[in-house]
Amino acid sequence: MYVIGLTGGIASGKTHAAQILRALGADVIAADEIARSLTSPGGAAAKAILRRFGTLDRKALGRVVFSDTEARLALNAIVHPLVKKAVHEAIAASAKPVCVADVPLLYETGMETIADEVWVMHVPGPEQLRRVMKRDSLTEAEALLRVESQMPTEEKLRRGDVAIDTSGPKEATAALLEAHWQRALAKAGVR
């Protein structure tokens, strides 16, 4: 099995990329979906989060963890090991020759080791900030806290194998993704 790690900063176009890759036939394992399941009522991380933070409300947790590094590290210590385990299990269970692990914090969590290659979705900083503010209805200061809580895009680009700028038309992003997908299929011995 050939594994592509799909990553990038917040609001960099990962969700759109994952949709395109699914349409191309990829088995996309979304770490954010796994994390949501784990942190929902009854999820494997729920009790520990409730003990530490007193709530499972994502917006309330966001206000706390994006303004308090210690709180963010505590939440990550609860959630990340469970997400890693679930992603590994999903990759092992995939029947496809090429699998995409959509992990926004791929480098921050050390999960790049699961990937044969890493694709980094990115946009210029001002566009990223605008997208976060619009998507999450945040002030500029709130959006900046979220952006700055992650590894800088420049570092992800330096470490990654493929860089895909999503600031252009969606059709251009789709064409780039399809070209890289075809190349990955060939590397996996498909076609």
Tens digit of pLDDT for each residue in 14-58?
999 999 999 999 999 999 999 999 999 999 999 999 999 999 999
What's the pLDDT at 169? 94
Which of 108, 140, 73, 106 has the alpha carbon at shortest distance from 7?
106
What's the pLDDT at 30? 97
Extract the runs of DSSP E, i.e. beta strands, from the chain.
Answer: 2-8, 27-30, 98-102, 117-122, 162-165
Q: At 146, is the secondary structure helix, strand, or coil?
A: helix
What's the pLDDT at 76? 95
Extract the runs of DSSP E, i.e. beta strands, from 57-182.
Answer: 98-102, 117-122, 162-165
Amino acid at 60: A
Evaluate if residue 191 carries a pLDDT over 90. no
Give Cβ neighbours of residue 133 (< 8 Å, ≥ 6 apart): 139, 140, 142, 143
CA 87 vs CA 52, 68, 180: distances in Å? 24, 27, 22
Evaluate if residue 186 carries a pLDDT over 80. yes
**Tokens 């806290």 appear where?**
145
Q: How far apart, in whole angstroms, are the C-alpha atoms of residue 49 and residue 79?
A: 9
What's the pLDDT at 190? 87
Read off the pLDDT of residues 94-151 as tens digits, 9 standing for 90 and up.
Answer: 999 999 999 999 999 999 999 999 999 999 999 999 999 999 999 999 999 999 989 9
Q: How far apart, in whole angstroms, are the C-alpha atoms of residue 129 and residue 134?
A: 9
Angle between helices 14-23 and 170-187 (to 10 degrees): 60
The two structure tokens encoding residue 27: 């088995």
Once rounded to an integer, what is the mean pLDDT over residues 172-184?
96
How far does CA 161 lie from the centroid of its chain? 16
Once rounded to an integer, what is the mean pLDDT over residues 142-169?
94
What's the pLDDT at 50? 97
Read off the pLDDT of residues 59-89 as tens digits, 9 standing for 90 and up.
Answer: 899 989 998 999 999 999 999 999 999 999 9
Q: How far apart, in whole angstroms, are the C-alpha atoms of residue 117 and residue 6?
A: 9
